[in-house]
């Protein structure tokens, strides 16, 4: 019997309808739903009032669509209503507290049988088919097996369908459930929208009890939100066998691969890049064509307070940006933290990282053939990724940047510490670094000394000396207000550990004989215990990492760089000069700098010489001022932004539109 045939028709009135649902959702409220149709003119729409404890608390129009209310040629099905009454509007309510009236005449709308009569005590049920257009399963009362219960479908807290669960299911009969007529199969018309989230509740209409698995979550197909996460989480938690888990992992891995591919294509702006390359091949200078893209690769995100390598790569990234390249960065070893990513993005650098790009290889693979140049900072990164770069970026210019020659540093350390095993390691490192030099289109070094060594070992290599930019700092405090001699370093680096030990163990005793008032300040990050314990030695103060190095430098009288071995250009020497602070140094600490004669006067190799220079300069304001001026002039000329840009442009060797 159809709903229209079962509807209540009140004598002397011309309407039909029922209250189908009065259900409570904890935390939300009461849902009241049903339908009402004017029999004389089905095109008219009723307004219904909701009464609780005798007071009208809400009203709504009975104009929602329900497919089961259609009468061909007469009624269009737009006669339903559904309204959610918040809990705080109906305190201490029960089903019997409600009535529904047709307005304005306030005629009572009758309840369906399950709301007005006896409710079955127990039930068994299952939802077997779930989709955006179909929900099917079965429902049976164990207390009254001959009774057929009704299923109500609530979509986003509104009643959409209600039907009797009386369809024949042979599987139910074969499993001993009477005649098997407990099935339901409901087609959702229209299907649930793909553009928004939906929550579908499948209820036993007589008891208002959710069927097992209800509510069902249908997340928007174009949105990844908490509803979708919850749906996936529930699905994965339901996996019970190893075979299912393997299938799930295979599926998730494939989807992850697809997502990363999509992200890579979007990030690489593939179509624009190909258009640009075509214009390049034709030697066309097209205004508005996408900028050349350059990728920088280092072990971890640059931090200028940590080491010289960070200062160098960051300066070169800024120079490339000033040359109108689109600059991006990826860390090969240590995933950057949120703060490091934000710092790079603040400077308009793209920072590729997990989950889209968990490795350098994943970036090269998903953004294939989209970079014009790849800059590998440190030859170790060049050695690891040059072959992959050639595979995925066959048209890219591959540049290897030498932070310092590791083989040279290890060889010098082996001599200084009399460690033969380091000679073996140095030889192995030399082979790797020379192979990376040979395989690169261009090699960047900061030191002319190291450029000459590489050129001699690999004559065919294209080698460029490119400094990094340092800006002149605020002038220091007056000489008489400054105190201490600072050794500033990253103490995770073996040459700096050795330098600190030599300074405190050999140089300091000689220095205190000449100037007992001088205090050595050990400053820097990654200090091991043996450095920290030096603070117990008279005349030594261990400060550790200093957050504001510029302000600290303004307050010290001198710096010292007593390195006995190492390689590359020493950033802390340059930073001292940029701040107007004289630096007493060894030849290793100033190697490759091509210093003017005045700055060479503060360089010596022996402990006695370093002690003598330090003691003399510490009490000579005129000489200190002269060296400070010479140091700042050296930085201004040798490490200007313009000089860095020009040298980097030559080393990249790319044709840029002008």
Domains of the chain, residue spans:
3-116, 124-236, 292-465, 479-639
pLDDT tens, residue by residue, 167-185:
999 999 998 888 899 999 9
The yes-or-no verdict on residue 252 having pLDDT over 60 is yes
pLDDT tens, residue by residue, 342-360:
999 999 999 999 999 999 9
The yes-or-no verdict on residue 2 having pLDDT over 50 is no
Rounded distance between C-alpha atoms, residue 645 and residue 650, angstroms: 9
In DSSP terms, 30 is beta-bridged to 24, 85
pLDDT tens, residue by residue, 307-320:
778 889 999 999 99
Asked if residue 489 lies in contact with residue 531, where contact means CB atoms within 8 angstroms, the answer is no
Q: Which residues contact 649 (CB under 8 A, 6 or more apart)?
A: 323, 656
- Tell me which long-range contacts 453-459 makes (C-beta under 8 A, separation of at least 24): 453/405, 453/408, 454/402, 454/405, 457/430, 458/434
Please report the beta strands in 431-508, taking only residues with DSSP state E, as ranges in sequence order. 442-445, 463-465, 485-488
Say what the pLDDT of residue 11 is: 32
Say what the pLDDT of residue 144 is: 78
Say what the pLDDT of residue 547 is: 87
Question: Among 97-106, 473-482, 646-655, which stretch is predicted with the lowest mean pLDDT?
Answer: 97-106
The yes-or-no verdict on residue 623 having pLDDT over 80 is yes
The answer as to CATH 1.20.950 being correct for domain 124-236 is no
Q: What is the mean pLDDT of residues 266-280?
A: 60
Confidence grade of residue 474 (pLDDT, cut at 50, 70, 90): very high
Q: Greatest CA span in the chain, whole angstroms?
A: 120
Rounded distance between C-alpha atoms, residue 152 and residue 34, angstroms: 11
Say what the pLDDT of residue 13 is: 46
The yes-or-no verdict on residue 118 having pLDDT over 60 is no
Say what the pLDDT of residue 7 is: 39
Rounded distance between C-alpha atoms, residue 233 and residue 227, angstroms: 10
Question: Among 135-144, 205-214, 296-305, 429-438, which stretch is predicted with the lowest mean pLDDT?
Answer: 205-214
From 3.40.50, 1.20.120, 2.60.40, 3.40.1350, which CATH number describes the 3-116 domain? 2.60.40
The yes-or-no verdict on residue 159 having pLDDT over 90 is no
Domains 3-116 and 479-639 share a fold: no
Say what the pLDDT of residue 3 is: 37
CATH topology of domain 292-465: Rossmann fold (3.40.50)
Say what the pLDDT of residue 458 is: 97
66-70, 194-198, 601-605: range with highest mean pLDDT: 601-605
Question: Among 227-241, 594-608, 626-640, which stretch is predicted with the lowest mean pLDDT?
Answer: 227-241
Confidence grade of residue 253 (pLDDT, cut at 50, 70, 90): very high
Q: Which residues contact 94 (CB under 8 A, 6 or more apart)?
A: none
pLDDT tens, residue by residue, 60-85:
999 999 888 888 888 898 999 999 99
Asked if residue 218 lies in contact with residue 197, where contact means CB atoms within 8 angstroms, the answer is yes
Among 632, 564, 554, residue whose Cα is nearest residue 599: 632
Q: What is the mean pLDDT of residues 3-10?
A: 37
Q: What is the mean pLDDT of residues 359-386?
A: 94
Say what the pLDDT of residue 621 is: 97
Question: Among 25-34, 204-213, 257-266, which stretch is predicted with the lowest mean pLDDT?
Answer: 204-213
Rounded distance between C-alpha atoms, residue 60 and residue 66, angstroms: 16
For the chain, the helix, strand and coil percentages under 3-state DSSP, each to the nearest 5: 40, 25, 35
Give the CA distances from residue 199 to residues 30, 86, 153, 228, in Å, rounded to whole numbers and listed in that order. Answer: 16, 18, 10, 11
Say what the pLDDT of residue 559 is: 98
Q: Which residues contact 26 (CB under 8 A, 6 or more apart)?
A: none
Among 523, 607, 605, 596, residue whose Cα is nearest residue 559: 523
Among 225, 200, 198, residue whose Cα is nearest residue 213: 200
Q: What is the mean pLDDT of residues 147-163?
A: 83
User: What is the pLDDT of the chain when averaged over all its residues?
Assistant: 88
Among 224, 202, 114, 211, residue whose Cα is nearest residue 155: 202
Asked if residue 38 lies in contact with residue 46, where contact means CB atoms within 8 angstroms, the answer is yes
278 versus 461: which is more confidently predicted?
A: 461
Q: How crowded is residue 528: how many other Cβ atoms within 10 Å of its Cβ?
A: 11
Rounded distance between C-alpha atoms, residue 82 and residue 22, angstroms: 10
Asked if residue 400 lies in contact with residue 436, where contact means CB atoms within 8 angstroms, the answer is yes
The answer as to CATH 3.40.50.2300 being correct for domain 479-639 is no
pLDDT tens, residue by residue, 212-231:
888 888 877 666 667 778 87
Say what the pLDDT of residue 271 is: 43
Say what the pLDDT of residue 280 is: 56
Helix (H, G, I), strand (E, B) or coil at 591: coil
């Amino acid at each position: 019997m159809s709903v229209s045939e079962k509807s209540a028709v009140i004598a002397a009135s011309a309407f039909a309808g029922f209250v189908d649902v009065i259900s409570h959702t904890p935390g939300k409220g009461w849902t009241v739903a049903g339908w009402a149709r004017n029999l004389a003119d089905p095109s008219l729409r009723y307004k219904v009032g909701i009464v609780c404890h005798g007071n009208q608390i809400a009203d709504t129009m009975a104009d929602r669509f329900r497919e089961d209310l259609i009468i061909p040629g007469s009624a269009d099905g737009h006669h339903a209503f559904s309204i959610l009454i918040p809990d705080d509007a109906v305190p201490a309510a029960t089903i019997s507290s409600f009535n529904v009236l047709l307005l304005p005449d306030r005629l009572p709308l009758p309840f369906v049988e399950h709301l007005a009569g006896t409710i079955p005590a127990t039930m068994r049920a299952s939802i077997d088919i779930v989709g955006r257009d179909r929900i099917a399963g079965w429902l049976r009362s164990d207390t009254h097996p001959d009774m057929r219960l009704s299923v109500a479908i609530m979509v986003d807290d509104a009643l959409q369908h209600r039907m009797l669960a009386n369809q024949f299911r042979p599987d139910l009969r074969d499993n001993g459930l009477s005649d098997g007529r407990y099935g339901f199969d409901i087609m959702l018309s229209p299907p649930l929208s793909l553009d928004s989230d939906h929550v579908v509740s499948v209820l036993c209409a007589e008891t208002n009890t959710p069927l097992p698995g209800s509510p069902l979550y249908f997340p928007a197909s174009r949105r990844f939100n908490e509803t979708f996460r919850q749906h996936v989480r529930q699905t994965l938690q339901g996996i019970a066998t190893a075979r299912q888990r393997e299938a799930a992992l295979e599926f998730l891995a494939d989807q992850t691969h697809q997502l990363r591919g999509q992200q890579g294509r979007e990030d690489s702006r593939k179509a624009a890049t190909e258009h640009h390359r075509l214009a390049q091949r034709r030697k066309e200078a097209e205004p508005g064509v996408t900028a050349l893209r350059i990728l920088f690769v280092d072990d971890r995100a640059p931090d200028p307070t940590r080491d010289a390598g960070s200062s160098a790569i960051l300066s070169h990234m800024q120079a490339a940006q000033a040359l109108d390249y689109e600059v991006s960065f990826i860390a090969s070893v240590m995933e950057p933290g949120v703060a490091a990513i934000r710092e790079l993005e603040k400077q308009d650098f793209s920072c590729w990282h997990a989950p889209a790009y968990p490795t350098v290889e994943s970036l090269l693979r998903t953004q294939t053939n989209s970079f014009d140049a790849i800059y590998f900072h440190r030859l170790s990164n060049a050695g690891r990724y040059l072959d992959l770069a050639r595979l995925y970026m066959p048209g890219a210019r591959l540049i290897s940047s030498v932070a310092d020659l590791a083989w040279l540093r290890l060889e010098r350390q082996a001599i200084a510490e009399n460690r033969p095993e380091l000679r073996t390691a140095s030889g192995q490192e030399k082979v790797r670094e020379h192979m990376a030099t040979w395989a690169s289109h261009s090699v960047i070094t900061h030191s002319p000394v190291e450029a000459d060594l590489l050129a001699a070992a690999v004559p065919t290599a294209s080698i460029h000396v490119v400094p990094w930019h340092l800006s002149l700092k605020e002038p220091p405090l007056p000489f008489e207000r400054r105190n201490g001699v600072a050794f500033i370093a990253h103490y995770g680096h073996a040459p700096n550990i050795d330098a600190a030990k030599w300074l405190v163990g050999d140089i300091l005793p000689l220095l205190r004989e000449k100037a007992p008032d001088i205090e050595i300040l050990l400053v820097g990050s990654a200090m091991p215990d043996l450095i920290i314990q030096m603070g117990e030695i008279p005349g030594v103060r261990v400060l550790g990492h200093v957050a504001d190095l510029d302000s600290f430098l303004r307050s010290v009288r001198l710096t010292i760089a007593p390195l006995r071995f190492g390689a590359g250009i020493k950033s802390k020497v340059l930073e001292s000069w940029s701040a107007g602070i004289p630096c007493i140094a060894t030849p290793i600490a100033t190697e490759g700098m091509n210093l003017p004669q005045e700055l060479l006067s503060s360089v010596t190799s022996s402990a006695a010489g370093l002690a003598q220079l330090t003691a003399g300069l510490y009490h000579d304001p005129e000489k200190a001022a002269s060296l400070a001026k010479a140091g700042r002039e050296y930085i201004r000329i040798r490490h200007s932004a313009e000089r860095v840009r020009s040298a980097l442009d030559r080393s990249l060797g790319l044709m840029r539109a002008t």
